[in-house]
């Protein structure tokens, strides 16, 4: 049974999440503060963590960093903090996704299932092949094909695509993408991303104006979905 650790200090939200998760056959552990969350994460070994950032004993960002010091468990932030800067700070600290309160339970559960699937997905595996309905990527050969035709990508386009592909389904922040592709001096140049993502969509998406695989998360970053 999939284990979920809910880190939240609001008893009503804890109760609602616990009931919803158990009804969907998840095993649930709960913690109302950061210290308890760290102890349970080590003992309980959850498959995914649902984390509120406003904890009584520490900021949730610090808890994410502490968990990331030793664990790769998916962390789904569920918080009332809603500004882009706050969301990006959580993602840069190591969160995998971010849902703003108040939230739809259906959306939250969909995000939770996606986070769990990513841990179960072997990704490209030893073959280095990532296939979607629209195109196929060979990471080892650095080659992209649409149908029977090769798609030419510039080195920068390839680097941007590769960063996203190696984190399937995970939200990658603007800052992280800019640092990895262009370097730290460019971490505020978000217009670079808009230009290059538009180029990639024109080359890879069937309908670039309604992308299925190269997804924008407004104000936060991008994600690659198979």
Residue 145 vs residues 14, 55, 153, 224: alpha-carbon distances, Å: 47, 47, 11, 17
- Supply 140's token pair: 């080892």
- How far apart CA 127 and CA 135 sit, in angstroms, is 16
pTM for the predicted model, two decimal places = 0.62
What whole-number distance in Å separates Cα of residue 94 and Cα of residue 38? 15
CB neighbour class for 149 (10 Å; exposed up to 12, middle 13-18, buried from 19): exposed
Q: Which domains does the chain have, with CATH numbers?
A: 3-120 (3.40.50.2300), 125-224 (1.10.10.10)
pLDDT tens track, the chain, 226 positions: 788 999 999 999 999 999 999 999 999 999 999 999 999 988 778 889 999 999 999 999 999 998 887 777 899 999 998 888 898 899 989 898 999 999 999 999 999 988 887 765 544 455 678 889 889 998 878 889 998 889 999 989 998 998 898 888 888 888 888 888 888 788 888 999 999 999 999 999 999 999 999 999 888 889 898 8
* Rounded Cα gap, residues 185 and 54, in angstroms: 32
């Amino acid at each position: 049974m999939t284990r979920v650790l809910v880190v939240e200090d609001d008893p009503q939200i804890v109760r609602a999440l616990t009931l919803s998760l158990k009804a969907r056959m998840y095993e649930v552990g709960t913690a109302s503060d950061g210290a308890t969350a760290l102890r349970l994460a080590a003992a309980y070994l959850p498959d995914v963590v649902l984390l509120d950032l406003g904890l009584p004993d520490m900021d949730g960002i610090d808890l994410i960093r502490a968990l990331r010091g030793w664990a790769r468990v998916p962390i789904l932030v569920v918080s009332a903090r809603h500004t882009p800067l706050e969301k990006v700070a959580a993602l840069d600290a190591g969160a995998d996704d971010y849902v703003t309160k108040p939230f739809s339970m259906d959306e939250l559960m969909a995000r939770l299932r996606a986070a769990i699937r990513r841990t179960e997905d072997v990704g490209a595996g030893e073959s280095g092949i990532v296939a979607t309905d629209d195109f196929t990527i060979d990471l080892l050969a650095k080659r992209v094909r649409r149908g029977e035709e090769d798609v030419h990508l510039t080195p920068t386009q390839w680097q941007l695509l590769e960063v996203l592909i190696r984190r399937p389904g995970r939200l990658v922040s603007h800052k992280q993408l800019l640092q990895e592709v262009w370097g730290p001096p460019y971490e505020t140049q978000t217009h670079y991303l808009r230009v290059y993502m538009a180029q990639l969509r024109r080359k890879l998406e069937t309908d670039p104006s309604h992308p299925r695989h190269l997804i924008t998360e407004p104000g936060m970053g991008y994600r690659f979905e198979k």
